[in-house]
Amino acid sequence: MKLKDLGYNNEIEKLNLATGQEDLVVGRVITEHKERYIVQTELGEFEAEITGNLRYTATSRASFPAVGDWVTLMVYDAHSAIIHKILPRFSTLSRKAVGRLGDIQIIAANINYALIVQAVDRDFNLNRLERYITLCHNSQIEPIIVLNKIDLVNEVQLSAMMGHIQNRMPAVQLLSVSAQTQLGLEELKSLIEPGKTYCLLGSSGVGKSSLVNVLSKKQKMESKAISEQSNRGQHTTTHRELLLLDGGGILIDNPGMREVGITDTAQGLEKTFDTLLNFSENCKFKDCTHTVELGCAIIEAVESGTVDKSLYENYLKMEKEKAHFESSIAEKRKKDKDFGKMVKHFKNLKKSKR
Ligand SMILES: Nc1nc2c(ncn2[C@@H]2O[C@H](COP(=O)(O)OP(=O)(O)OP(=O)(O)O)[C@@H](O)[C@H]2O)c(=O)[nH]1
Ligand SMILES: [Zn+2]
């Protein structure tokens, strides 16, 4: 396999050269499991761990490799290697880590486009679409909306739904498909750019797996992986989280990504609600919160019907969540600081006793 097939390009080459470690091999992380990584390189696949140095200098979970990362490796034998460096990421899809306050967990790195899948059935929900789009904007990922299961509705119903989406999210590319009847699939396939990395986002049951199956050579890669494994007489996870799409795209599909709760979405609001927020230029007060103020141009636009009320309401709801998220981060910083102070105090105490 060529690195280019995995998305390697001139920019990544530059980052690689900048490490000044030309004796190392460059590769892309295709699977992660409990701090063990499978890295695909031009020399083949390696099972890798990170260097002790990388571990000890880690400041958060974001310092560890994630699926999609480009890394440099010291190769030890035909199958094992040590990860020395993670090349700088151009995008990260992350979420709040479970448990620890304000900690961020990176689900995948270096994704160019997200296919936001929504089904035309009960799943259809504009607010939710806006949340996924915000998540993308927050992650430096370009969103593309894929309306799936269009075999379940008639043309009139479909064009109404498409109209609703275009009305609320005019800047986002929109496609409609049926993974089942393969309607619209050619258009989706033709959109896939070689060397670009994609992911699928959407609720459970919208048809993400079905789309993966019709878009990728998944089966082929998996059976190859299994035979490689059995040659070595070893049993490890063979699930590939980075797949090659027909047409030369790369797809990252991992369990973490499927669990990205849309409640995790906190930022990127400005871009998503661009059309709404443009009105705020005419708000009477500079620090207008667009909730209760007299002379709020956004409220006026909603009241006069220039702006969709449900758009405004979804904005307020997400803005509130953002504030909540930010205060939880501030709280974590304070806790860390207090803990630091306590440690320092304790050390001083020990010193003074000596
Ligand atoms: N009618 C119809 N059914 C579909 C279509 N695409 C998928 N389905 C069905 O929808 C159900 C869910 O599809 P999946 O592909 O498993 O959905 P998913 O998004 O991967 O779900 P999770 O794995 O839970 O995230 C399955 O029964 C599919 O057969 C479609 O285009 N039309
Ligand atoms: Zn206002």
Which of 177, 209, 254 maximizes ligand 1 atoms within 8 Å of its Cβ, making it the mutation to test the pocket?
Answer: 209
Instruction: Give yes or no for a contact between 103 and 57, defined as CB atoms under 8 angstroms apart.
Output: no
Is pLDDT at 326 greater than 90 in this prediction?
no
CATH, domain 111-218+240-253, list 3.10.129.10, 3.40.50.1820, 3.40.50.2300, 3.40.50.300: 3.40.50.300
Categorize the per-residue pLDDT at 100 as very low, low, confident or very high, splitting at 50, 70 and 90.
low
- Cβ of 153 closer than 6 Å to ligand 1, yes or no, is no
Of 173 and 338, the one with more pLDDT:
173
In angstroms and rounded to an integer, the radius of gyration of the C-alpha atoms of the chain is: 23
The C-alpha atoms of residue 144 and residue 125 are separated, in whole angstroms, by: 15
- Note the pLDDT of residue 264: 53
* Paired sense of beta strands 250-252 and 242-244, if any: antiparallel
Instruction: Give yes or no for a contact between 160 and 191, defined as CB atoms under 8 angstroms apart.
Output: no
Question: Would you give the DSSP letter of residue 226?
Answer: H
Of 335 and 223, the one with more pLDDT:
335
Categorize the per-residue pLDDT at 319 as very low, low, confident or very high, splitting at 50, 70 and 90.
confident
The residue ranges of every structural domain in the chain are 3-90, 111-218+240-253, 265-349
The C-alpha atoms of residue 123 and residue 136 are separated, in whole angstroms, by: 19
Find the mean pLDDT for residues 40-51. Answer: 93
Q: Give ion ligand 2 contacts, CB < 5 A.
A: 283, 288, 290, 296, 298
Tokens of 343: 């440690």
202 CA distance to ligand 1 middle (Å):
11
Top-level class of domain 3-90: mainly beta
Is pLDDT at 263 greater than 50 in this prediction?
yes
Give residue 81's identity as a one-letter amino acid code. A
- Cβ of 208 closer than 6 Å to ligand 1, yes or no, is yes
Residue nearest to atom 1 of ligand 1 (CA): 149
Is pLDDT at 201 greater than 80 in this prediction?
yes
Give residue 181's identity as a one-letter amino acid code. T
ipTM of the complex: 0.96
Q: What mean pLDDT, rounded, does the chain reach?
A: 85
Atom of ligand 1 nearest to the CA of 178: 31
Of 227 and 343, the one with more pLDDT:
343
The model's pTM: 0.79
Q: Do domains 3-90 and 265-349 have the same CATH topology?
A: no
H helix and E strand count, the chain: 12, 13
Is pLDDT at 13 greater than 70 in this prediction?
yes
Q: Is 207 annotated as a binding residue?
A: yes
The C-alpha atoms of residue 147 and residue 149 are separated, in whole angstroms, by: 7
Which of 210, 253, 258 maximizes ligand 1 atoms within 8 Å of its Cβ, making it the mutation to test the pocket?
Answer: 210
Categorize the per-residue pLDDT at 115 as very low, low, confident or very high, splitting at 50, 70 and 90.
very high
Tokens of 123: 């799943």
Q: Out of 72-76, 77-81, 306-310, 334-338, pick the least confident.
A: 334-338
Tell me the per-residue pLDDT of 117-161, one tens digit each, with 9 for 90 and over.
Answer: 999 988 898 988 988 998 899 889 999 999 999 999 999 999 999
Give residue 163's identity as a one-letter amino acid code. G
CATH code: domain 265-349 is 1.10.40.50
